[in-house]
Amino acid sequence: MDITYDLESITELTVANTTGIGRGNAGGLALRNFCVAIDSTMYVKTSEIMRQNLEKQFSLPVKFLVISHYHGDHIFGMAAFKDICILSSEQTSKVMLNEETKSRYQVFIKDLAKEGPIGEAIEYVLPTLLFNGKLIIQDNDLYIEIFHTGGHTAGSSFINFPHENVVFAGDLIFENTFPYAGDPTCDPELLINALQKMRDINADFYIPGHGPTMKGASTLDRHITFYHDLRDIIRDAIKDNTAVDKISIPDTFGEPDAGRKSMTVNHWLNYYKNK
Ligand SMILES: [Zn+2]
């Protein structure tokens, strides 16, 4: 089977693949003298093709890979970029260095190898340049800002490209699908704050971590409302001592799969019990 990984033009200087073919969305952008890739899909193969297509599209080399967070469907293709600078928040790197994550992901990588050619050659590559708070990559008159917010995971970050009015949100946004908000390091309050921060930037386009590109900041409103409503439901459930299986969640994104729902609900219950 031939593997392809086409990049869709979002604006003149930004591209993305939101088809789900590499599992987590990935994309990139061009500054004046080089490109920046954003996330590396779950497979080395799709990541390699993404890099080639980025360089072809803009006739510029890729100089940086930015990792939005540590989940496998965004980082397992990193081997395709290990000769260049790989950036993440310090918190993402800390979670990746954690023994529990490493052993869990070793099993994950072994399972992917069984999927055939697409799952081959995955390596657990670590980021090489770490930041806290905010990092700017500048090239002549163009720049991008990377904000570490936490939320979906402790290290979660998003990328803003002001010149193009585009935000790459990573998994701080799941569009048209029930979000995963049950990672052990997920912080619901930081997640809501991150969504509001992206909303306030008022970009023209938001590239979510999963699902199609979103046009305009108002498309974030139903996500913010969803998490506010979920928080209210969880707080009420704690007050009323409701059994986990009796907790219903907002139907904004349809019926979640049972595993994703219970991980999210249990994580949020623990979080707000201890608040
Ligand atoms: Zn994720």
pLDDT tens digits, one per residue of 22-49: 999 999 999 999 999 999 999 999 999 9
Ligand 1 centre from 218 Cα, in Å?
23
- Strands 205-210 and 214-215, how do they pair? antiparallel
Ligand 1 centre from 71 Cα, in Å?
5
Quote the pLDDT of residue 79. 98
CA–CA distance, 193 with 155 (Å, rounded to integer):
14
Ligand 1 centre from 119 Cα, in Å?
19
Q: Is the pLDDT of residue 107 over 70?
A: yes
> For residue 133, what is the DSSP state?
S
Ligand 1 centre from 152 Cα, in Å?
7
Picking from 11, 12, 6, 67, the residue whose alpha carbon sits closest to that of residue 42 is 67
Ligand 1 centre from 10 Cα, in Å?
22
Ligand 1 centre from 33 Cα, in Å?
30
- Residue-wise pLDDT tens digits, 178-188: 899 999 999 99
Quote the pLDDT of residue 260. 85
* 3-state SS, one letter per residue, for 173-228: EECCCCCCCCCCCCCHHHHHHHHHHHHHHCCCEEEEEECCCEECHHHHHHHHHHHH
Ligand 1 centre from 145 Cα, in Å?
20
- Residue-wise pLDDT tens digits, 150-178: 999 999 999 999 999 999 999 999 999 98
> For residue 168, what is the DSSP state?
E
Mean pLDDT of 89-117: 95
- Residue-wise pLDDT tens digits, 5-29: 999 999 999 999 999 999 999 999 9
CATH architecture of 8-221: 4-Layer Sandwich (3.60)
Q: Is the pLDDT of residue 269 over 70?
A: yes
